[in-house]
Amino acid sequence: MKVQEAVVVRIRDLCKEKNMKISQLAYEAGMPPSTLKNIMNGNSNNTGIVTIKIICDGLGVSLDDFFRCALFKKLDEEIV
């Protein structure tokens, strides 16, 4: 699994945990729904940390909470 895929999975998992739809997350995060849709559909190959922080704010979690899970510990090494 790549980092970008892990980010999408984590966002989906946290939305499920919080009973939140992706459209509601976009609203809560104050970001255009199209931006979040592009991330979730894999049309954004490199979601920046600032964008992830905005998403975390919308989810009500810290960056530390977002990345502190088994999902990110098991990532393959990215070769660019």
pLDDT at 77: 65
SS3 category, 74: coil
Instruction: Read off the pTM.
Output: 0.89
Read off the amino acid at residue 25. L
Mean pLDDT on 24-31: 96
Both structure tokens of 64: 């530390």
Compute the chain's Rg from CA coordinates: 12
Domains: count for the chain:
1
In a domain, 43, yes or no: yes
User: Residue 26: which residues within 8 A CB-CB, separation 6 or more?
Assistant: 32, 33, 35, 36, 37, 58
Domain that includes residue 60, residue range: 3-73
**What CATH number is associated with residue 16?**
1.10.260.40
CB atoms within 10 A of CB 7: 21
pLDDT in tens, 33-58: 999 999 999 898 788 999 999 999 99
